[in-house]
Every structure is written in C-alpha cells, then in structure tokens.
Amino acid sequence: MVGMTSAPSATAPAALSPAQQLEQNGFVRFTDVLDPVTMDTLLLRAHATLLREKEAAREAVKSNGSLIHLSDNPEYADVIGSPKIAELLREVGATDPRWTGGFLISKPAGGPPLFWHQDWWGWTEPESYDVRAHQLFVMIYLTDTTPENGCLRVIPGTHLRDHPLHHLEAAHSEGLQSFANPDAVDYAAHPDEVAVPVKAGDVLIGDSRLIHGAYANRTNEERPLLTLWYMPHWSGMSPGMRARGMENYLRRDDIHTSVARPLTPLDWTPVLRQRVEAVLPTYEDSEPPVPWHRTPDTSRLIPA
C-alpha cells in the first residue's frame, strides 16, 4: 500500500510520507487498497442504489451526477467503518478520525464536468488557516477513472494558497449543481489543473479545503464514486467545531433529502451500526456550533 500523487507536475519526492504529501499538495493517492471482490461488491451495491434514485433528483445535481447520502443506505457500513480506511487516515496524520457523512456521487454516461469548488465550511475560525486539515475526503472510485470518463482534477496546494478559483461563485449553488449555464468558467479547464486518474481499489484522501472538480464523462458507462467525510482530529477540535461536525452528522443542514427527518446511523440496525461505531462522532459539550461558512478570507491564505 503506497501513498503517491498522480501526475508529474504534482509528484512529491519519494522521501515524503503520505502525511507530508497531503500537507504539501492537499491530496494523496494510495494504490491497491481494496481487493477486487470488495470492489465488485461495492459496484453492485452502487448500481442498485442508483436504480432507486429518481431521475429528477439526479437532474437537480446534474454537474455532480448524484448526491445520495450514505446514511440513507446502511449497506455501505462496512466501507465507512473499514479498518483499512482507518489505517490510511492514520497514515496521513489523523489522531481521532470520526465520520460525519458521505455520498454516492455517480456521473452518468455523457455527464457534464463537476464545477471547481472546495468543501470546507469553517472559514470563520482561526484554525481553518492552519496547515493541519480539520476535514478529509476519502474517495473510492468504483471503476477505473481517466479524464475521458470523469476522473478527479485538482489545483494542488490550494488548501493553503490563494487562487483565482477561490473568487468564483459560491460552491454548490443550485445553478452550478444543475449545470444551468454550461459556459460558466466554474466548469472550464484551468492551466493549473492536474488530473488524478485512479484504478478501482485505489483510495484518494484529500483536504476539504483543496480546490477540485471532475472532468465530464464522455463515455457510455456510469462512473460511480463513494465520497466519505471524516474529521481527523475530533477530540482535539474546539467544542464549536465539534458541534458543527455533529450538525453535519445529524444532517441538520442537509438540503439533499426528501424525508422529514433524515436518517443517521443512529437509525440503523444494531449489527450495522456496530460496524461504524468506532468512527461515529459524539458530543457532550454545550458550546453552540460555529457558523456554516464556505468562503475563505483569502487575505489569510498564502498569496497566489
């Protein structure tokens, strides 16, 4: 199991550890983590999940392809609580990783590109400008990916450094998600972008502050992805940060749901919940959550 970046322009020296690669570039790729049987099983589950998703729901998030919350689908418990994933999180420096959510994000055949964005929500807080990440994405592509079928693309270093793409329209707006304006610069190629193709079984871990997107899927096959969100230093975070993380986990800010009270692992059967118990967040403090704020103060980032 080897941590590595994905392209010559982003390749770190061999001496760098996965944690150092994450700190330097904002992402790291681990190869051959999950075995073929596991990948086949996850792929079958994903196709079954997608069959249940309504077409209108997918159209509303056309740029993403789908945004199906994994708390509604406890059949993914084994990957959320996977000891292999926990091991990788430790390799990149996580001290107390806790899962706060995840999605099946699947780009259909002919699907458009995913807009440029970063996913961090705590930019009002001083620690958001530290080198250490407070939220990590774990991406598990269920098929081999390339720029042809919609692989990840990133702007290395933008988890810490200002970049012109920080100054675009706020991420995840309805217009961007629905691909309302295909000519918007938010979807366009950028000279700083680096493609991150992977093989099924590889795992990508990245800093939620990293600016990233995805290419269009120009093939005739679905390109499914599981994105898992972990807060890597749960017990070391401020109470307000943990409170906001709990809000995310309990889906109190989740607009992508059609049920009155969104499901969480608290609603799963005991057998399935036991599979994720070690990575579920808990909160006993009374501090209110920090504000939900996706836009960084770019004056506090490293200048472009």
Q: If you average pLDDT over every residue of the chain, what do you get? A: 93
204: β partners: 29, 139
**Comparison of pLDDT for 197 and 7, the residue scoring more:** 197
pLDDT digits (tens, 9 = 90+) for 49-100: 999 999 999 999 999 999 999 999 999 999 999 999 999 999 999 999 999 9
Q: Give per-residue pLDDT as tens, 248-267.
A: 999 986 444 445 679 999 99
Q: What is the pLDDT of residue 14?
A: 59
Question: What is the model's pLDDT at position 159?
Answer: 98
Structural domains of the chain in order of their starting residue, each with its CATH number: 19-300 (2.60.120.620)
Distance CA(213)–CA(267), nearest Å, equals 32
Provide the pLDDT confidence category of residue 304 given band limits of 50, 70 and 90.
confident
pLDDT at residue 260, as a whole number: 66
**Looking at the chain, how many residues does it have?**
304
Helix axes 18-25, 83-91, angle to 10 degrees: 70
SS3 289: coil
Predicted confidence (pLDDT) per residue in 77-86, tens digit? 999 999 999 9
Q: What's the pLDDT score for residue 150?
A: 98
b/e string for 105-128 if b means 16 or more Cβ within 10 A? bbbbeebbbbbbbbbbbbbebeeb
**Is the model's pLDDT at 269 over the cut of 60?**
yes
For residue 277, what pLDDT band results from cuts at 50, 70 and 90? Answer: very high
Residues 282, 234: Cα–Cα separation, whole Å? 9
State percent of the chain over pLDDT 90.
88
Phi-psi region of 158 (alpha: psi -120 to 50; beta: other; left: phi over 0): alpha
Per-residue confidence band for 11, with pLDDT thresholds at 50, 70 and 90: low
Asked whether residue 230 carries a pLDDT value surpassing 80, the answer given is yes
First to last CA, the chain: 34
Residues 235 and 281 sit within 8 Å (Cβ to Cβ)? no
In this prediction, what percent of the chain has a pLDDT beyond 70?
93
> CA nearest 267: which of 288, 285, 286, 249?
249
Cβ partners under 8 Å of residue 88, min gap 6 = 1, 18, 30, 33, 138, 203, 205
Instruction: Count CA atoms within 13 Å of residue 253 on its CB side.
Output: 15
Residue 188, SS3 per DSSP: coil
What number is the average pLDDT over the span 194-215? 98
Residue 111 carries which DSSP code? P
Does residue 289 have a pLDDT over 90?
Answer: yes
Residue 282 CA to residue 304 CA, distance in Å, equals: 38
pTM: 0.93
Chain segment 171-192, per-residue pLDDT in tens: 779 999 999 999 999 999 999 9
Q: Are 221 and 144 in contact (CB under 8 A)?
A: no
- Cα–Cα distance for residue pair 232/93, rounded to 1 Å: 8
Q: What pLDDT band is residue 2 in, cutting at 50, 70 and 90? A: very low
